[in-house]
Structure 1
Amino acid sequence: MALFPYLDCRHQFYLPVGDDHQLYVEESGNPKGMPVVVLHGGPGGGSSPMQRRFFDPEQFRIILLDQRGAGQSRPLASTQNNSTSHLVADLEKVRDYLNIDQWMLFGGSWGVTLALAYAVSHPARVLGMVLRGVFLCRQRDMDWLYTEHGAARLFPREWHSVNAAVADQAGTLLDRYATMLAGDRAREFARHWCNWEAVLAGMAPLPAGPGDDDELCMAMQEVHYFLNQGFLDVPLLEACAGSVLPVEIVHGDRDFVCPLDQAEALHQVLPNSVLTRVSGGSHSASHPAIANALVEAVKRLRERIGK
């Protein structure tokens, strides 16, 4: 099933959520349709108009937002007063402001982490979830990304490159980038950081140079969150185990950012979940096979909720 055509958002605004943060929020689709909130990845990835295309605009009230320090939210790339509990509380403020009783969650990568954390805290507000490219934010999952024992073994040249940029610093890769992202050349190091993840996601790295706002947000937020174990008080699998919320999980078997075992582990603890393994699918939601699987997953979940 093809993606739905691009449509303009019909309402966009900034919502103050405290601590000097303002969230960028937009709505599109049918104001009387089933509410769905899209949780972007990263942390720091920001929303995109492409994310509206997974939903039938006649059937869904589509809500996109940029999390604290991401995308068009203000202040740009801020890590102050920025943790998972802040993001969960922000979602409640958005839901309350929009006068929504319950909504569907649609999250990818870090958006899965946030969706699960929100569903654990506010299960009565969740109709169901579509989760893509599962990231559980366990130590082993971060080690896969940022130590020599994980994805580095598959992409040794690119792993050398992301390390070489901060070779004169001490500590782990996260420690070294935290130091350099706090300096005057933050955008240059943001480009190096994001190029490593781009390679794992099946995208071409960009030439060395200063990164744009999106790269700066991604690098700043990821380093901030992962140095703090995602600000998760309880492991997600333990926290959400046994939930009977209807869940559709979509995961590519060529996902080198978030290996498939994370989706399998989540599926095992959620008795009302369906796991779709996408042959040849990468981490990116724009991968054709992943995108089509997501459209189908949204359709199935809507039908399941309707029953």
Structure 2
Amino acid sequence: MPRPLFPKLSPYDQQVLDVGEHQVYVEQSGNRRGIPVLYLHGGPGAGSSEDHRRYFDPQKYRIIIFDQRGCGRSTPHASIADNTTWDLVDDIEEIRQALAVKQWIVAGGSWGTTLAMVYGIKHAEQVLGFILRGIFLGTPAEVQWLYSHHGAAAIYPDYYQDFLAPLQPHIHQEPVKAYEQLLQSDNELARFQAAKAWTLWEDRISTLHPNHHAIETPEQVHSAVAMANIENHYFINHCFLEADYILNHLDNISHIPAIIIHGRYDMVCQLQKAYQLKQRWQNATLNIIPDAGHSGFETGIINAFCQASDKMAAFLKEQSTDK
């Protein structure tokens, strides 16, 4: 039987850290004396979910989650000012110091894997291990796969037409750049429609089985505005990374154990990238889930992630005993 998420739990600590013009929401749950683990949500701009806590055994782990700049419960909402990959890396390190964590496991999904690896490359001495689901290396080629006419659009042409619909009469432009104009428009209705279409495209293609997700409630639109604005901002700016940054600096973290999880039918983040990463990461294992797409909450992905968190806890316990 596939493993379900661990039972629901509430945070034992919630706080807001001031980082320049941003206020970043941070929470802790689970065992105060457990293995510290930081979970990084996707997007960028998606915000965290209460179910992200449930990837980890609350008896074994001190579970730390935060909403990255501009999204979730962090403020100002949807702000792209002072919002770069390197700002987020600095935020992570500030959180670690504020919570008096010496070392931690760094986990994440989708964009969260990018951020986890970039943080690790800069702060390898603070990382005990990685659990990474749905690898995204932050390269222009991956953005092209997701948003151009020649990637996921070939698999979902009907959904892609809905994605392009708000761009008239700018359809001839590069979609990501055309969306930037709409998302920064003075027309509030146009901005909301663009944010909904941008977010719905990714939502629809994230699961193996048909996804009839809609963005209708005020809360859903609120979240979509942050997701679309921040994601577009990052992708326009090549995720604020040099070309092939992660692979070119992988030696900084290749000695650290990593468990990589990727759905075989992931249409958002290509399996090829996860496979390429595994080939170059000497201490990584790759678990390809045969009946899953991109979503972190498909049955096979949940099963693999919960198993991975148990495996990592057992491995670290064994390592500490050996010492």
Question: Shorter chain as normaliser: what TM range?
Answer: over 0.9
Matches within 5 A, 1:1-307: 1-18=3-20, 20-169=21-170, 171-183=173-185, 184-185=188-189, 186-202=191-207, 203-206=211-214, 212-235=221-244, 236-241=246-251, 243-306=254-317, 307=319
CA contact (8 A) 2:215 2:221 kept: no
For the residue of structure 2 that corresponds to 1:27, the secondary structure is: strand
- SS of 1:165's equivalent in the other structure is helix
SS of residue matched to 2:249: helix
Q: Distance in 2 between matches of 1:213 and 1:122?
A: 33
Give, in whole Å, the separation in 1 of the partners of 2:135 and 2:162: 26
In structure 1, C-alpha distance between the alignment counterparts of 2:216 and 2:74, rounded to whole Å = 26
Structure 2 Cα separation of the partners of residues 74 and 3 of structure 1 = 29
In structure 2, distance between residues paired with 1:59 and 1:261: 33
In structure 1, distance between residues paired with 2:312 and 2:61: 12
Question: Which SS does the other structure have where 1:249 is aligned?
Answer: strand
What is the aligned length?
A: 306
Amino acid at match of 2:43: G
Larger mean CA deviation between 175-184 and 90-99 belongs to: 175-184
Q: Quick check: 1:240–1:270 contact (8 Å CA) kept in 2?
A: yes
CA contact under 8 A between 2:259 and 2:308: conserved in structure 1?
Answer: yes
Q: Which amino acid aligns with 1:286?
A: F
Counterpart code for 1:166? L
Whole-angstrom distance in 1 between the partners of 2:192 and 2:73: 17
| Counterpart contact for 1:71–1:214, Cα < 8 Å | yes
Does the 8 A contact of 2:60 with 2:313 survive in 1? no
Assess if the C-alpha contact under 8 Å between 1:192 and 1:208 holds in 2. no
**Partner amino acid, structure 1, of 2:71:** A
- 1:175 Cα offset (Å): 1.0
Cα distance in 1, alignment partners of residues 74 and 173 from structure 2? 31
Deviation at 1:201, TM superposition (A): 0.3
Instruction: Return the offset for 1:239.
Output: 1.4
Q: How many Å separate the matches in 2 of 1:207 and 1:166?
A: 18
Secondary structure of the residue that 2:305 maps to in structure 1? helix
Aligned with 1:37: secondary structure? Answer: strand
Does the 8 A contact of 2:31 with 2:58 survive in 1?
yes
**Which amino acid in structure 2 is aligned with residue 174 of structure 1?**
V
Q: Is the 8 A contact 2:31 2:60 kept in 1?
A: yes
**Shift of the alpha carbon at 1:2?**
2.6
Secondary structure of 1:32's partner? coil
Whichever residue aligns with residue 270 of structure 1, its letter is: W
Deviation at 1:8, TM superposition (A): 0.7
| Cα RMSD after superposing both structures | 1.4
Query: Secondary structure of 1:8's partner?
Result: coil
1:259 CA displacement = 1.6
CA separation of 1:230 and 1:204: change in aligned 2, threshold 3 A: same
TM-score, scaled to structure 1:
0.96
Sort the Cα spacing of 1:70 and 1:209 in 2 relative to 1 into closer, same or farther, 3 A. Answer: closer
C-alpha distance 209-54 of structure 1, shift in aligned 2 (>3 A) = closer
Q: Deviations over 1:90-126 (max 9, x none)?
A: 0000000000010101110000000010000000000
**TM-score, normalising length from structure 2?**
0.92
- For the residues of structure 1 that align with 2:163 and 2:42, how far apart are their CA atoms? 21
